[in-house]
Amino acid sequence: MTPTPPAVQVRDLQKSYGNVEAVRGVSFSIAAGETFALLGPNGAGKSTTIEILEGYRDRSGGEVSVLGTDPHRGGLEWKARLGIVLQTSNESGNATVTEQLRHFAGFYPHPRDVDEVIDAAGLREKAKTRVSKLSGGQRRRVDVALGIIGRPELLFLDEPTTGFDPEARHQFWHLIRGLKAEGTTILLTTHYLDEAAQLGDRAGIIAGGQLIDIGPLDKIGGADARVPVVRWRDGNGLVREERTSRPAQVVAELVRSLNGAEPEDLEVIRPSLEDVYLSLVRGHEAIPAGTGAAASTDEGRPDPSRRTDKDVRA
Amino acid sequence: MSATVLGTRPQNKAPGTLALGLSRIGYETRLYFRSPDTLLFTFFFPFIMLGIFTAAFSSSGNIGANPDGTGGVSVGTYYLPGMLAAGMLLSGVQNLAVDIAGEKSDGTLKRLGGTPLSPLSYFLGKIGQVFVTAILQAGLLLLVARLVLDIALPTEPEKWATFAWVFVFGVITSAFLGIALAAVPRSGRSATAVVAPVVLVLQFISGVYLQFTTLPEWMQNLASIFPLKWMAQGMRSVFLPESFAAAEQSGTWDLPWVAGALGIWLVLGLVLSRVTFRWIRRDA
C-alpha cells in the first residue's frame, strides 16, 4: 500500500515585505487527516504562513503544496476543497445566519446540510437573526460555520475561538473532533494552548519567522522541558523547588526527613504545554534574533484575550 | 487537480458560473434593500430631488414657453429625464463604488476569494443587482411622475424603444464604472467621501439639476466628455417635445452620439473594472 501524500507540504518557505523577512525558511508537512497546530507569538509569521497556504499571499521563496496544488496557481476546483476561517471579519452582515449559510453552501459541489451546520455551530436560536445583530462570539461561530459548509478536505482555522466563552469553546472542540473523525485535515493557529493540546495531533512553534520546534503535542520541547517540579515550603517558611524525573521518591524522602510530618504547601507540577511553549519562545528570544518578528498581519488590534502573548513579549 | 486526499466522495457537479451569478443577484438585491444608506442616497434620491424641484420652481411657470406664456412643459416634465439619468448613474456608479469599496475593507471580498465563487459570478451578481434596482427605481419614478405629478408620458413606441436602449446601455456603463471607481478609496469609510462629490459634480454639469441648455459652452463641452450628459440627453429626447431639440448643443437630439459616447464609456468601464478588481489587495 502506498502512503497517502501529505495534505500540506512546505519546504524552506520564505516571505519578505521590503527588507523585513517575516518568514525565514519554514518547513513542515501535514498528513491527510491530521490536526496540526501552528503556535507562536503575535508577529511571529503564523498568519503570513497560513495566508500563503490559503493562496492569499505570494511567497518570496521555497516550495508549497496544498492538496497537491501550488496555492499560487490554485483554481476554483482547488478552492472548493478548502475551508477557510480567517482571523478577523467585520462584515456588515445584513443577511441572516441561515441566508448566509444557504448562499455559501451554493458555491460548493457537495456542501453540508445547512441546518446540521447551524446546529453543530450552536446557532439554532440565532438562525433567523441578521449577522450584524450577533455578538462577537456568535459572529465567530458563523465564520466557523461558513468555513465548514463546503465539506472541506482541508480546514484552516486562524484563531477560531477568539471571543468564545468557555462553554462555546467546548462546543467548538466537540465540533472539530467530529470533523477530525470524518477525516478532515486541519491547520489550526491559536493562542489558547489548552485548545492546541485538546485538538492537535502535532504542533509547530514559530518565533521570529522560524520554526523553533515541531513534534507531537505530548513530546514537543523534548523530555527535559517536561521534567516535573516538586515544590514545598520548608520550616523557615521559604519556598523550595526541585526538578526531578522521580517526584514520588523526592516526596518520600522529604516526608522521611520530616519524620513523617506533612510538608507544607506540597505540589508536584508537571509542565503544561503552556509552560513548555513559554520556555521555548523565551529561549528563542534570548538569542539575538534578526528583524523578522516585526511585520506580519498578526499585529492586529489590541485584544485582551491575547494576554498570554503580550506576557511572552514583555 | 488530481490527488484527492480523502478518496471516496460523492462527485457532484460544481455549480455553474451562470447559476451562481443568478443566486448572487437574488442575494445582492435582498441586501440592497436592507441597507438604509443605499435606499436613501441611491434609490430614493431622484424622487427627493424631483419633489424639491417641482415644489420650488412650479410657480415660475412652464419651461420653454412662448413669449405669450403658452406652450412649453411643466417643471416636473422638464426634470423627469434628468432624474431618470441620475437614477441610472447613482444605481451603478455610486451604489457599486461605495458597496464594493466597503466589501473590500470589511473582509467580505477576502472571504469570497477563499471560496470557489468565480469572480465572473460575483460581477454578474453586482451588475444584475444594479439592473433590478435601477428598473424598479425608473418604473417607480415614471409611476410617480404620471400619477402624482400628472406628467404626460410619451405614447409612441419608438420613443420607448429609445428609452430602452439608453437605459440598458447607461445602466451597464454605470455599473462597470462603479466597479472601477471602487478601486480608488483607500478604505470603506472614505468611500462615500470619494464617490459622492464625483457623482454630485457630474450631476450639476450634465444637466440633471441645472438646465443643460443654459449652461456656459465650456461647461457643456466638459460635461460631454462624461457619460451622464449623454444619458440625460437621450432621456430628454424621449420625454421632451421635439421643439426642445433645437436648444441642444447641435440643435438635434444627436442619438447616434449618445450611443457612441455610452459605447466608449462601456468598453472603458469594462476594461478598467477588469484591470483594477482584486479579491484582496495583493502584496508585492
Q: What local confidence, expressed as pLDDT, does residue A260 receive?
A: 86
**CA atoms of B281 and B183, how far apart (whole Å):** 10
Find residues 282-311 of chain A whose CB sits inside 8 Å of chain B: none
Residue B275 burial by Cβ neighbours in a 10 Å radius (0-12, 13-18, 19+): exposed
For residue A22, how far is the Cα from the chain centroid?
Answer: 19
- Tell me whether A17 touches chain B (CB under 8 Å): yes
Q: CA A15, B277, A75: angle at the middle one, nearest 5?
A: 60
Q: What local confidence, expressed as pLDDT, does residue B4 receive?
A: 39
Q: Which candidate in A20, A47, A58, A94 is best for mutational testing of the B interface (most B CBs within 10 A)?
A: A94
Residue B270 has pLDDT above 90, yes or no: yes
Instruction: Give strand pairing partners of A270.
Output: none
Cell of residue B106, nine digits: 470589511
ipTM of the modeled complex: 0.87
**CA atoms of B103 and B240, how far apart (whole Å):** 40
Question: Are A40 and A33 a contacting pair, CB within 8 Å?
Answer: no
What are the Cα distances from residue A29, in Å, to A10, A80, A85, A296, B27?
6, 21, 20, 22, 39
Task: Give A130's DSSP letter.
Answer: B
Q: What local confidence, expressed as pLDDT, does residue A296 receive?
A: 39
Integer Rg of chain B from CA: 21
Task: Give A151's DSSP letter.
Answer: -
Residue A236 has pLDDT above 70, yes or no: yes
Residue A61 has pLDDT above 90, yes or no: yes
Query: Which band of pLDDT confidence, cut at 50, 70 and 90, is reported for residue A293?
Result: very low
3-class state of residue A29 by DSSP = strand
pLDDT above 90: percentage of residues in chain B: 68
Mean pLDDT of the B125-146 span: 96
Q: Is residue B116 assigned to a domain?
A: yes
**CA atoms of A240 and A254, how far apart (whole Å):** 11
Q: What local confidence, expressed as pLDDT, does residue A290 receive?
A: 46
Alpha helix (H) residue ranges in A93-135 = 97-105, 114-120
**Which range among A212-226, B207-221, B248-262 shows the weakest confidence by mean pLDDT?**
A212-226
Q: Is residue B244 assigned to a domain?
A: yes
**How many Cβ pairs closer than 8 A exist between chain A and B?**
106
Q: A103 contacts in B (CB within 8 Å)?
A: 23, 27
User: How far is the alpha carbon of A167 from chain B, nearest alpha carbon, in Å?
Assistant: 27
- Give the pLDDT confidence of A136-179 residue by residue, as tens digits: 889 999 999 999 999 999 999 999 988 788 988 999 999 999 99
Asked whether the beta carbons of residue A104 and residue B115 sit closer than 8 angstroms, the reply is: yes
Residue B132 has pLDDT above 90, yes or no: yes
Residue A292 has pLDDT above 70, yes or no: no
**CA atoms of A50 and B156, how far apart (whole Å):** 63
Question: What DSSP line would sit under B29-44, residue for residue?
Answer: HHHHTT-HHHIIIIIS
Residue B36 has pLDDT above 70, yes or no: yes
- Tell me whether B36 touches chain A (CB under 8 Å): no
Residue A285 has pLDDT above 60, yes or no: yes
3-class state of residue B249 by DSSP = coil
Element (H, E) at B77: helix B75-89
Q: What local confidence, expressed as pLDDT, does residue A36 receive?
A: 97
The total of structural domains in chain B comes to 1
Instruction: End-to-end CA distance of chain B: give it in Å, rounded.
Output: 27
Residue B65 has pLDDT above 80, yes or no: no
**CA atoms of A260 and A281, how far apart (whole Å):** 41
- Tell me whether B2 touches chain A (CB under 8 Å): yes
Q: What local confidence, expressed as pLDDT, does residue A95 receive?
A: 94
Residue A193 has pLDDT above 50, yes or no: yes
Q: What local confidence, expressed as pLDDT, does residue A235 receive?
A: 82
**CA atoms of A249 and A255, how far apart (whole Å):** 10
Query: Which band of pLDDT confidence, cut at 50, 70 and 90, is reported for residue A306?
Result: very low
**CA atoms of B235 and B174, how far apart (whole Å):** 15
Q: What local confidence, expressed as pLDDT, does residue A2 receive?
A: 61
Question: What DSSP line would sit under A180-204, residue for residue?
Answer: HHTT-EEEEE-S-HHHHHHH-SEEE
Cell of residue B146, nine digits: 404620471
A184, closest residue in chain B (CA to CA): B6
Q: Which domain holds residue B144?
A: 17-55+75-276
- Tell me whether A103 touches chain B (CB under 8 Å): yes
Backbone region of residue B105 per phi and psi (left: phi > 0; alpha: psi in -120 to 50; beta: other values)? alpha
Question: Are A41 and A159 a contacting pair, CB within 8 Å?
Answer: no
Q: What local confidence, expressed as pLDDT, does residue B282 receive?
A: 55
3-class state of residue B277 by DSSP = coil
Question: Are B75 and B63 a contacting pair, CB within 8 Å?
Answer: yes
**Which range among A88-92, A120-124, A147-151, A219-223 shows the weakest confidence by mean pLDDT?**
A88-92
Residue A305 has pLDDT above 50, yes or no: no
Task: Give B107's DSSP letter.
Answer: T
- Give the pLDDT confidence of A87-104 residue by residue, as tens digits: 877 777 899 999 999 999
- B92, B58, B106: which is closest to B78 by C-alpha? B58
Q: What local confidence, expressed as pLDDT, does residue B162 receive?
A: 96
Beta-sheet strands, E only, within chain B: none
Q: What local confidence, expressed as pLDDT, does residue B69 receive?
A: 67
Question: Are A64 and A20 a contacting pair, CB within 8 Å?
Answer: no
Task: Tell me the average pLDDT of chain B.
Answer: 89
**CA atoms of A67 and A108, how far apart (whole Å):** 17
**CA atoms of A212 and A28, how far apart (whole Å):** 11
Cell of residue B220, nine digits: 457643456
Asked whether the beta carbons of residue A107 and residue B20 sit closer than 8 angstroms, the reply is: yes
Residue B204 has pLDDT above 60, yes or no: yes
Task: Tell me the average pLDDT of chain A.
Answer: 86
For residues A294 and A65, the model is more confident at A65
